[in-house]
C-alpha cells in the first residue's frame, strides 16, 4: 500500500510543516541502528510483541520497510538487539562492597526484575533464547563475580546464578497474566482471575475456590519477594562454612 500520509509530497501539509517547522530544516531523520532499536522497543511496549512487524516498525520511523534491512539482517536480529538493550537498562553496579551476599543478591535480582517488569513483552524474548548480548553478559559476569568473591565455589555460584535467573524470568513472564479475564465467550461475561476461581464447582475444586483470594491477592513483586527469600534461605543451608547468621523470616501471616 502507498500509505499516503507518511510520504512528504510537495505541497501537502506535512511537506509545509517539514519545510518551515520550528525545528531544524532537515526533516529527513537519518535511520540508525539506535533509532531502529528504540523504535522497536517503543512499539513493543506500546502495542505488544505482536504489533512489531517490519512494516510497522518502518512506519514508526517514517521510512520504507526494506531500508531496515540495510542496518539489520532481519526481524530476529531486531528482537535480539531489543532484548539486550532492555537488559542494559538495569543499573547494576550500585553501592555494593559492604554488603553480604544476601543483600547483594536481593539488590541485583530485584533490579533485574524491575527493569524486565517495565517491558513486559520483552521477557518472552529472553525466555526462549540464550541472551548473549554484551549487556546480558555483563550482568551475568557481575552476579557471578559477587558470588565468587563472597566465597561460593564454582558449581555453587553457577547453580545459584541459574536459579536466580529462572526465578526472575518466571516472575516477569507470569506478571502480565495478573490482569487476565476469563470466559470471553461473550463480551459481557469477562471474569477476573479471582472471580473465575470463585466460580469453579466447589465439589471438584474445593481448594481453588477456597484459595481464590490467596492465589490472586499477591503482587508479582510480593510473590517474587517470597520466592527469593526461600531461595536465599536454601542457599544459606548449602554454604560450606556454616557462617549462618540466623534471621527470622517474616511472612508467615495467617489471614482471616
Q: Which residues bind DNA (CB under 7 A)?
A: 1-2, 7, 30-31, 52-56, 63-67, 69-71, 74-76
- Is residue 203 part of the contact set for its own copies (CB under 8 A)? no
The CA distance from 253 to 171, in Å, is 22
**Strand extents, DSSP E, 26-104:** none
Question: Of the two residues 57 and 212, which places its CB atom closer to DNA in the complex?
Answer: 57
42's CB contacts (< 8 A; 6+ apart) are: 60
- Is residue 97 part of the contact set for its own copies (CB under 8 A)? no
Copy the grid coordinates of residue 162.
541459574
Question: Of the two residues 44 and 90, which places its CB atom closer to DNA in the complex?
Answer: 44
Which of 188, 240, 242, 245 lies at the binding interface for its own copies (CB under 8 A)? Answer: 240
Copy the grid coordinates of residue 22.
520550528
Piece of the chain touching its own copies by CB under 8 A; list 28-36, 55-63, 105-113, 211-219 = 211-219
- Is residue 213 part of the contact set for its own copies (CB under 8 A)? yes
Question: Which residue is listed with cell 536465599?
Answer: 232
CB 15 to its own copies: min, Å:
42
Which of 174, 189, 219, 243 lies at the binding interface for its own copies (CB under 8 A)? Answer: 174
Q: Cβ(148)–Cβ(205) under 8 Å?
A: no
The CA distance from 25 to 243, in Å, is 66
CA 154, 157, 160, 164 torsion-angle sign: negative
Copy the grid coordinates of residue 116.
524486565
The CA distance from 224 to 113, in Å, is 9
Q: How many CA atoms lie within 13 A of 52 on its CB side?
A: 23
Contact letters (x/-) for its own copies, 126-165, by CB under 8 A? -xxxx-x----xx-xx--xx--x----xxxxxxx-xxx-x
Question: Of the two residues 77 and 89, which places its CB atom closer to its own copies in the complex?
Answer: 77
Residue ranges binding its own copies (CB under 8 A): 124, 127-130, 132, 137-138, 140-141, 144-145, 148, 153-159, 161-163, 165-167, 169-171, 173-174, 176-177, 180, 182, 193, 196, 200, 204-208, 210-211, 213-215, 218, 223, 226-227, 229-235, 237-240, 249, 251-255
Amino acid at each position: 500500500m502507498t500509505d499516503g500520509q507518511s510520504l512528504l509530497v510537495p505541497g501537502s501539509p506535512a511537506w509545509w510543516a517539514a519545510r518551515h517547522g520550528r525545528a531544524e530544516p532537515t526533516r529527513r531523520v537519518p535511520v540508525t541502528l539506535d533509532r531502529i532499536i528504540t523504535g522497536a522497543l517503543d512499539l513493543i511496549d506500546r502495542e505488544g510483541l505482536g504489533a512489531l512487524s517490519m512494516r510497522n516498525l518502518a512506519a514508526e520511523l517514517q521510512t520504507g520497510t526494506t531500508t531496515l534491512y540495510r542496518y539489520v539482517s532481519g526481524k530476529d536480529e531486531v528482537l535480539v538487539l531489543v532484548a539486550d538493550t532492555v537488559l542494559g537498562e538495569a543499573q547494576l553496579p550500585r553501592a555494593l562492597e559492604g554488603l553480604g551476599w544476601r543483600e547483594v543478591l536481593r539488590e541485583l535480582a530485584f533490579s533485574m526484575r524491575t527493569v524486565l517488569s517495565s517491558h513486559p513483552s520483552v521477557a518472552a524474548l529472553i525466555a526462549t533464547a540464550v541472551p548473549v548480548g554484551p549487556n546480558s553478559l555483563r550482568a551475568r559476569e557481575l552476579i557471578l563475580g559477587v558470588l565468587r568473591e563472597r566465597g561460593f565455589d564454582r558449581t555453587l555460584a553457577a547453580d545459584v546464578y541459574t536459579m536466580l535467573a529462572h526465578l526472575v524470568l518466571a516472575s516477569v513472564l507470569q506478571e502480565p497474566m495478573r490482569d487476565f479475564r476469563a470466559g470471553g465467550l461473550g463480551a459481557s461475561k469477562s471474569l477476573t482471575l479471582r472471580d473465575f476461581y470463585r466460580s469453579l464447582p466447589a465439589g471438584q475444586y474445593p481448594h481453588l475456590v477456597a484459595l481464590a483470594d490467596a492465589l490472586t491477592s499477591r503482587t508479582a513483586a510480593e510473590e517474587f519477594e517470597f520466592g527469593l527469600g526461600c531461595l536465599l534461605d536454601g542457599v544459606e543451608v548449602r554454604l560450606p562454612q556454616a557462617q549462618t547468621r540466623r534471621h527470622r523470616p517474616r511472612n508467615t501471616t495467617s489471614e482471616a
